[in-house]
Amino acid sequence: MNILVTGGAGFIGSHLVERLLVDGHHVSIIDNLSTGRLENIESFKDNPKFRYVIGTVLNRDLMDKLISKADQVYHLAAAVGVKYIIENPLLSLKTNIVGTDTVLELANKNKAKVLITSSSEIYGKSEKVPFSEQDDRLLGSTHISRWGYSCSKAIDEFLALAFFREKKLPVVIVRCFNTVGPRQTGQYGMVLPKFIKAALLDQPIVIFGNGKQSRCFADVSDVVEAFINLMNAPNCEGEIFNVGTQESISIEDLALKVKAMCKSKSRIEYMRYEDAYEEGFEDMMNRMPDLSKIREYIGYEPKFSLDDIIQRMIEYYEI
């Protein structure tokens, strides 16, 4: 099969490409390297079944050429990371909304099946935990940049579902919850790689807020396998799925766990959200996915525990 992965030099994208190549597919990627890195594809860039293009999903002519040769499109290209989104609000909105619209239009033209990656940010600051795919959304003011990201992902979902309903385009939508693993960088605000890198260097581990907020961290290998299984199951077309784990931990306890597993001498420090991001920044206290739907449709069960994930990442960053 010929497969296109947008954002294929990114953290999740590169792991997805690696798995698709192992499965024997011909894989092309497009990435503008805003958050992706060429080193992420170094181990397989010489594979004869792999091709990479440096470019943007906003380049319609280029995307038309790439999608015309694809049977499936995994659309991962997007603005990622709270820090990046707050610092680049306009580009983030355009990339997420216009980029997704371009992918869907051209996929419909060329009859290619599409997977759209959405986000747990969709749920906003709702306190109904765990979050189910049919739940209402609760968002803050438009003056706060992070909610623009949530809205852009919602528009992506509306677009995908409209193409499915009106044009019969086969689409699958996934909402990812804190995907982590080797190759992830803390440069754009991802908490676990930031903690691990600081701990390995005996530098302060900095917690934003009071540390009582809780998250569930899923290994990228589990997430990638879910993507592929969802794309290969016809009954998943036109549906939205949470992808993640339900092993919850507070950010404060995560810092303590990382420090212990790294045998680190790091101090744990706290920083106000306003000092880390922007005035008026809002966060969610708890974020956990309801996984009953994805279990029902494809039998999804995460294989990696949080301790497994942290150990894998420690070994990766120690090299």
The enclosing domain of 44 has a CATH number of 3.40.50.720
Q: What is the pLDDT of residue 189?
A: 60
Residue 203 above 90 pLDDT? Answer: yes
Indicate the range of 162-166, 217-221, 277-281, 315-319 predicted with least confidence. Answer: 277-281
Q: Domain containing 228: what range?
A: 2-179+220-245+288-303
pLDDT band for position 127 (cuts 50, 70, 90): confident
Residues 318 and 260: their CA atoms lie apart, in Å, by: 15
Q: For residue 63, is it within any domain?
A: yes
Q: What are phi and psi of 118, to 5 degrees?
A: -105, -155
Indicate the range of 107-116, 117-126, 142-151 predicted with least confidence. Answer: 142-151
Q: What is the pLDDT of residue 86?
A: 75
Q: For residue 74, is it within any domain?
A: yes
Q: What is the pLDDT of residues 74-106, one digit of tens each?
A: 999 987 766 677 787 888 888 899 999 999 999
Q: What is the pLDDT of residue 263?
A: 97
89 Rama class: left (phi>0) / alpha (psi -120 to 50) / beta:
alpha
CA distances to 71, 108, 131, 159, 262 from 103, rounded to whole Å, are: 13, 8, 28, 11, 42
* Sign of the Cα pseudo-torsion (52, 68, 229, 11, in order): positive
18 Rama class: left (phi>0) / alpha (psi -120 to 50) / beta:
alpha
> Each residue of 107-127: b (16+ CB within 10 Å) or e?
bbeeebbbbbbbbbbbbbbbe
Count of alpha carbons within 13 Å of 19, Cβ hemisphere only?
A: 18
Residue 146 above 90 pLDDT? Answer: no
Q: To which residue do tokens 């005996």 refer? A: 202
Q: What is the pLDDT of residue 308?
A: 96
Is 290 in contact with 132 (CB distance < 8 Å)? Answer: yes
Active site residues: 149
Residue 158 above 70 pLDDT? Answer: yes
Is 299 in contact with 222 (CB distance < 8 Å)? Answer: no
Q: For residue 201, is it within any domain?
A: no
pTM for the model: 0.94
| Average confidence score pLDDT of the chain | 93
Q: For residue 234, is it within any domain?
A: yes
Is 26 in contact with 3 (CB distance < 8 Å)? Answer: yes
Higher pLDDT, 109 or 272: 109
Of the candidates 117, 133, 42, the residue with the CA atom closest to the CA atom of residue 75: 117
Residues 239 and 170: their CA atoms lie apart, in Å, by: 10
117, β-bridge pairs: 174
Q: What is the pLDDT of residue 45?
A: 93
Q: What is the pLDDT of residues 4-59, one digit of tens each?
A: 999 999 999 999 999 999 999 999 999 999 889 999 999 999 999 999 999 999 99
Q: What is the pLDDT of residue 89?
A: 81
Q: What is the pLDDT of residue 90?
A: 84
Q: For residue 282, is it within any domain?
A: no
Indicate the DSSP class of residue 267.
Answer: P
Q: For residue 108, is it within any domain?
A: yes
Q: For residue 215, is it within any domain?
A: no
Residue 190 above 90 pLDDT? Answer: no
Residue 275 above 90 pLDDT? Answer: no
Q: What is the pLDDT of residue 210?
A: 92
pLDDT band for position 187 (cuts 50, 70, 90): low
Our count of domains for the chain comes to: 1
Q: For residue 147, is it within any domain?
A: yes
Q: Which long-range contacts (CB under 8 A, 24 or more apart) does 31-36 make?
A: 31/6, 31/7, 31/55, 31/77, 32/56, 32/57, 32/77, 33/9, 34/79, 34/84, 35/10, 35/79, 35/80, 35/81, 35/84, 35/187, 35/188, 36/7, 36/8, 36/9, 36/10, 36/11
Q: Give the gyration radius of the chain's Cα atoms.
A: 19
